[in-house]
Structure 1
Amino acid sequence: MIVDCHAHVVPEPLLAEVAGGAWDGVTARHTDNGWLVSLPGTGERLVRERMCRAERRLEYLAGTGIDRQVVSPWLDVQPTAGMSPGAARSWARRLNEALREHTGEGTAGRLATVALDDPDTAAADLAEEITRHGMSGLVLSTDPANATTLADPRLEPLWTVAAELGIPVLLHPSADGPSRVLPDSDEFANAYCRLVDTSFALARLLLSGVLDRHPALRLVTVHGGGLVPFQSGRLDGAHRADRLAAHRIERDRPSDYLADLYYDTVALSAPAIRFLVDLVGPDRVLLGSDYPFALGDPDPVGTVTAAGLTPAATTAVLGGTVTGLIQGSVRA
């Protein structure tokens, strides 16, 4: 079974219902190019056919040789800081319900969304989505609404529940992350700024001691983990001899935690995938496509095959590892 761990879906039936009357401050209208969706505090976002129509996703799977995907909503339609706590929680539930109802064929699992206004409530909502409604894990922005960073101590209840449930937590940058302030960076937003956002978030998470307190956490980083696995020596050096030395962790170096994380293959090259497997092992690297975005891998299975891994490692990366992650979560 070939399983893609990184795919985004916004089901069209949800958008059609929203178009019939604003839900939780969210509006949608259909255009020739797709659906224009607006959430409180953000401008309009375009949801194209490939993201919202099930038949387009099934065509993609057939064309790439992927059997199933673990799907999550697009980060741009997750609850925003501009929503009231009640509306944010309601909208998160609507997103989760839409994924359950409208992503059947070609789906290996679904990642839940939670509103983070109240982390205790978010943790309880996550537990309910997993144990009562059959969701497979959590998707979390690297720049979460209503939290300063992923290292925010307020998120402890969420980490506790995620670790107890044994679920994968996909860490994904948003389209409007902290790197937006870099001068003249707009044209590089998808090329490198998303990697910058992931790298800062991941570095802060490692230095905050989250994995010391929650060693059972199953954190999945997209885009090959950003810059961190490829430039971990810089982080180690800064922790040894620079301002980052103030962060106290139980292991000698931040890079000592890299093999505790999971990485998708959307580093977009066979040598990068081979590097990740050599660094952390095939049981920590997962096939990813970043469907439906053009910057994702147009031939994710071929890129993994070209990495020259052993047959056992190739099998693990192409689906064995992510299948184990999904099946290993606690369900009611």
Structure 2
Amino acid sequence: MRVVDSHFHWFPRSHFETMAARSAYPRTERVGDGYRYRYHDGRGFIPLPAIWFDLELGLETARAATGPDTVVVCTTGVLAGMLDQMPATEALDEAHAYNEEIAKAQRTHAGRFFGTAAVPLQDTSAALAVLDHAVRSLDLRGVNLPSMIGEETVDQERLEPFYARVAELGVPLIIHPTDLAFNDVLTGYADGLQRSLGRLLDSSVTVLRLIFSGVMERHPSLRVVQTHAGGLLPYQAGRIDKNARIEGLPALPSHYLRRIFVDTVAPQALTIRTALEYYGADNVLYGTDHPCWSPRAAVAVLDEADLDDEVRAKIYTNAASVFPLG
């Protein structure tokens, strides 16, 4: 069985080097053989040791957990919004360079590694051009969506052509937490509030913006993948239906929420079982969050959830059609 890890992080070292050459934030700083990423305001940092750009080691680690036929889908992860915090022209140049490197890795590791696109959204026309090139020319299999575009949110009316084109191309939007939306208020405790709760709030609000703004209503074929088992949303779906009275939305928010695909990057069996009950086995994808989490731990939590063989097989293979991988 070909197992698909839908939540895997890798960056070409050239990207970190480009970001290290910047004098303004966001940027990276060299630390030994690795880097650390400084946010758009210079506060806080994410350590980026060599595992973040050692693709061979990452692929080996993935296969060691689930077998030699394991393939990975590479996403931008918590760094998804970095380009949208940069000047538009610079962001476009780096997006093209990043996407070309991801596509090169996809060709080099054909059938084992699949890439997804970085698309800066400051300028809608430019975003459409980057999107088309990434999917149609480079054959990347998804599009990463940040929570913020500079000071703008993702539900701007000007982005309607972008969402329409993503739906038309048949690739999913990947919504992963960033540190852009709530980092200002969830401070302290060695970033414990932001990393544990803030990031889940970030991705959950991003999904709700797509629902409340009518993007998912207007584009019923649009596929959205939310990481970390749906964040906070499946636990509060009833409250969302009760309290979110959205004018012009013909169905309750939960109608659209159940269309979301989520992954199993959640280190608790109860969370896995809740995701399966709420979204259904067809909408839950295997993921490891490598190198932020261990592929062996990702398998262990599925063991702990005590899933039957049919459900587990679905989880391991669903991503092949969502992205799609062929």
The answer to whether the superposition gives a TM-score over 0.5 is yes
Q: Separation in 2 of the partners of 1:182 and 1:11?
A: 31
1:324 aligned to which of 304, 321, 326: 321
Cα offset, 1:203, TM superposition: 2.0
1:164 is the counterpart of 2:162: no
Q: 1:315 Cα deviation (Å)?
A: 0.9
- Taking a change above 3 Å as real, the CA distance of residues 109 and 301 of structure 1, as seen in their structure-2 partners, is same
Q: Calculate the TM-score normalised by the size of structure 1.
A: 0.85
Matches of residues 178-197 of structure 1 in structure 2 within 5 Å?
A: 178-182=182-186, 184=188, 186-197=191-202
Larger mean CA deviation between 186-195 and 9-18 belongs to 9-18
Match of 2:79 in 1: 76
User: TM (normalized to structure 2)?
Assistant: 0.87
Secondary structure in structure 1 of the residue aligned to 2:323: helix
> CA distance change for structure 1 residues 52 and 77 in 2, over 3 Å: closer, same or farther?
farther
Rounded Cα–Cα distance in structure 2 between residues aligned with 1:231 and 1:25: 35
- Corresponding residue number in structure 1 for 2:255: 256
Gaps of 5+ in 1: 240-244
Give the structure 1 partner of residue 57 of structure 2.
56
| Number of residue pairs matched by the alignment | 319
Corresponding residue of 1:220: 225
State whether residues 166 and 328 of structure 1, in contact with CA within 8 Å, keep that contact through their aligned partners in structure 2.
Answer: no
More deviation in 113-122 or 196-205? Answer: 196-205
Does the CA-based 8 Å contact 2:88-2:122 persist in structure 1?
A: yes
Alignment of 1:1-332 (within 5 A): 1-16=2-17, 30-32=30-32, 34-37=34-37, 42=42, 45-65=46-66, 67-76=70-79, 78-102=81-105, 104-105=108-109, 107-141=112-146, 143-146=147-150, 148-182=152-186, 184=188, 186-239=191-244, 245-251=245-251, 253-294=252-293, 298-319=296-317, 321-327=318-324
RMSD in angstroms over aligned alpha carbons?
Answer: 2.8
Preserved CA contact (<8 Å) 1:25 1:87: no
Partners of 1:34 and 1:305 in 2: CA distance: 34
SS of the aligned residue for 1:260 comes to coil
Q: Structure 1 residues 214 and 23, CA, compared in 2 at 3 Å: closer, same or farther? A: farther
Q: Which amino acid in structure 1 is aligned with residue 227 of structure 2?
A: V
Distance 1:10 1:183, change over 3 A: closer
Deviates more, 1:188-197 or 1:146-155: 146-155
- Alpha-carbon separation, structure 2, partners of 1:24 and 1:94: 19
Query: SS state of the match for residue 220, structure 2?
Result: coil
Question: Are the counterparts in 2 of residues 225 and 263 from structure 1 also a CA contact under 8 Å?
Answer: yes
Do the aligned residues in 2 keep the contact of 1:72 with 1:110 (CA within 8 Å)? Answer: yes
Unaligned runs of 5+ in 2: none
Deviation at 1:98, TM superposition (A): 1.7
Confirm or deny: 8 A CA contact 2:173 2:223 kept in the other structure.
yes
